[in-house]
Amino acid sequence: MVVRKIVTVIEEIHLEGGREVSPAARVAVVAAIIQNPWAGQGFVEDLGPGIDANASDVGALLAPLVLDALGATAQAYGKAAIVGLDGEVEHGSALIHTLKFGDHFRTAANATTLLPAVEKRGPAGVVFDIPLKHITDATIRSHHQSIEVRIADAPHPDEMIIALAAAAQGRPQQRLAPLSSEQ
């Protein structure tokens, strides 16, 4: 795995809907900008060797960093793979949609649910939203949220942005009834 840089974004919401949010709603994102392991190879039928060589390493790198950046216990989480223009969306999906990647975050966060994800291809500076859901019950509506991310110089055409996001709470000022109230 070749890492060009790591970017950390921390968002704290102190006011929502004209009311104070106390404690502030905190979301952290840590993104690794890595070389696409399939760049320059044309169509690669078997992505397995690239997955084996990279997925666990990038998951092990990012999971502790995002939880440290959050500075609190994670209640919601998500992931992203943004592929540069010379790659395929499948390249990003190959790295993040494997237990070799995701189990690092699930273990570190004491989580049990699947990580919600975004995958797309785009140029440097592309905007993407990382969806987040509750770490143990994806039906808890208060924790369905997203965070917008943009890294000005990434991904280069032969790179990927692989990112993890964690929230210390649900949406600020959430007040939707539980899903069970509609069943």
Give the DSSP per-residue string, 45-96. Answer: S--HHHHHHHHHHHHHHHHHHHHHHHTS--SEEEEEEEE-TTS-HHHHHHHH
- Cα–Cα nearest to 80, from 96, 69, 94: 96
Q: Per-residue pLDDT for the chain (183 aa), expressed as one digit of tens each?
A: 999 999 999 999 999 999 999 999 999 999 999 999 999 899 999 999 999 999 999 999 999 999 999 999 999 999 999 999 999 999 999 999 999 999 999 999 999 999 999 999 999 999 999 999 999 998 899 999 999 999 999 999 999 999 999 999 999 998 877 777 777
CA 45 to chain centre: 26
Question: Are the CB atoms for 125 and 153 separated by under 8 Å?
Answer: yes
Task: Specify the pLDDT at position 175.
Answer: 85
> 30, exposed or middle or buried, with CB in 10 Å at 0-12, 13-18, 19+?
buried
Q: How far apart are the first and last CA of the chain?
A: 47
Domains of the chain: 3-182 (3.30.1330.110)
Q: Record the tokens describing residue 126, joined without a space.
A: 């592309």
H helix or E strand, kind and range, residue 17: none
